[in-house]
Amino acid sequence: MKKILAYIILLLLSTENICGQQADSLFVSNDSVRMKKHYFRAAIQALSVNASVWAYNRYIREADFAKISFHSIHDNIKKGLVWDNDLFSSNQLLHPFHGSFIYSSARCNGMSYWTSLSYTFAGSLSWEFCAETTPPSINDLITTTLGGAALGEGTYRISSLVLDDSKRGFNRFFRELLGTVISPSRGINRLLTGNAWKVRHKYYLYHDYEKIPVNCSLTVGDRLMADNGSLFKENNNMFVEFNMIYGNPFQNSTNKPFDYINFSSLINVGGKQPVIGSVNIAAKLYGKYSEPLPGHKMMIGLFQHFDYFDSGLVTKDSKKIPFKISEAAAIGVGMTYLLPATKKITIRYRGHLNAVLLGASLTDYYRLGRDYNLGSGYSIKSNTHIEFSKYGSFELNMFDYQIFTWRGYKPEDLKTKASPYLYLNTQGDKGNAELFLINAIMGININSKTKINLGSYYYFRNTHYAYHDDVISRTYEFRLGLKYKF
């Protein structure tokens, strides 16, 4: 086991084409160009995703909602779409992951982003009406489709960084295994088509680093949280954070959807916080590059966003969870601006204004199977990054999410509905929620690839309710970590 782990670490450190510049790009391939479009195979594979998930729920978990029949399908079609009451992580993260498998089934069979998106919608629609006995969910249809496309295209692109058809032996096995873990539908497709073991000496790579550069980093450290001013009654745990900047917004060599992505995810290890603390994707759908002033670089474009923030009780004395918020389906305009670099300093700014088609926010009152409200609204994001060539970096982030719950319920509805868990059919507590997040991160260089990161975070939640008292929550967070760029 030690030898295998050592080999994996050595592979990650020495193989530049996983994240970074590719040393040998003579035979870079673009699989969207050389792959034929297999529409029927994509449909069969997408349906197989649904069938596999249904079979797991039906025969392994023995879940009641998976015990479908022609009668349940008829009822679902008759009743139509409703707002469901699944858990926050299920609706806002697991359903998009489900959608990403459907999306990737089309993408790895030669489809474009937009065509794959239509497959994801069709797969989600068939699941909602045919694969569950519970009424079909309008929020699941949206998050599985749009959130699934964001996660699906992102993981498809990342898996391309790993695959190399010129390799053999354990190196090839490890790459195929890692690629399958990142994008399971693509990995299964490669097994079915034989591409997983086919050796090529031409067109053997799946990513062009000259057109789309990639920079990745991994931060490992300790995370301390405190709420409502209780700085000495804190909760701490280890964390692992992955960040990736995929593509260069200031070059016109390619302008396809997701050719420029900002991706990050936070994993909590131990402690009281959820394992997946956050997942954030901001991907360009279309952009236009310009130079407004000599030496100044600017890109303005249309972006798709996927954000997921989850938290648990901060301390034993905490009475309530401080925040949960997501924008599983969001689209908006974004700008990236690069000031002229000097020998000592580089300054870059990113800003976004988004329409949240469907999001979710923590509720302090609604408890019929879930602890969050659904809704729509908008978000504003700002990132300023300053790089000091010799010493390190400074980064300032500000995020403001506004989620409005339009379809609420009145307190007396809980007494009049016969089966509120399924048929109350509401987004939650009528009102609106704001989550404002600001963080400052200072990086101190150890060498060209390693930094010590010091981060300070402040979360402010202000939720207004139509039929309940308003709630304000403040949460503080401090992080100390070691960041490695590869």
Give mean pLDDT, residues 326-354.
Answer: 95
**Residue 163, helix vs strand vs coil:** coil
pLDDT of residue 16: 45
Q: Residue 417's pLDDT band (boundaries 50, 70, 90)? A: low
Average pLDDT, the chain: 88
The per-residue pLDDT for range 278-292, each reduced to its tens digit, is 999 999 999 999 999
Q: Check whether 27 has a pLDDT greater than 70.
A: no
Residue 34 pLDDT: 56
For residue 19, the model assigns a pLDDT of: 57
Lowest pLDDT segment from 132-141, 163-172, 232-241, 341-350: 232-241
Q: What is the pLDDT of residue 11?
A: 43
Rounded mean pLDDT, 327-336: 96
324 near 361, Cβ under 8 Å?
Answer: yes
pTM for this predicted structure: 0.90
Whether 23 has a pLDDT exceeding 60, the answer reads no
Please state whether beta strands 276-290 and 261-269 pair in parallel, antiparallel, or not at all (unpaired). antiparallel
Phi/psi for 211 (5° steps) reads: -80, -40
- Report residue 223's pLDDT band, with 50, 70 and 90 as the boundaries: very high
**64: which DSSP letter?**
G
Q: Indicate the range of 155-164, 203-212, 416-425, 428-437 predicted with least confidence.
A: 416-425
Domain annotation for the chain: domains and CATH numbers:
2-193 (no CATH), 214-485 (2.40.230)
- Residues ≥6 apart with Cβ < 8 Å to 207: 17, 22, 28, 157, 160, 161, 214
- Mean pLDDT over residues 81-109, rounded? 94
Label the pairing between strands 345-362 and 325-338.
Answer: antiparallel
Does residue 274 carry a pLDDT above 80? yes
The SS3 call for residue 320 is: coil
Q: Which helix (H) or strand (E) holds 445?
A: strand 431-445
Q: Which of 261-265, 338-342, 424-428, 453-457 has the lowest mean pLDDT?
A: 424-428
The CB-side HSE value for 477 (13 A sphere, CA atoms) comes to: 24
Cβ proximity of 222 and 480 under 8 Å = yes
Average pLDDT over residues 105-116: 95
How many angstroms separate the CA atoms of 299 and 396, rounded?
A: 20
β-sheet bridge partners, residue 259: none
Q: For residue 223, which of 483, 476, 484, 451 has the smallest C-alpha distance?
A: 476
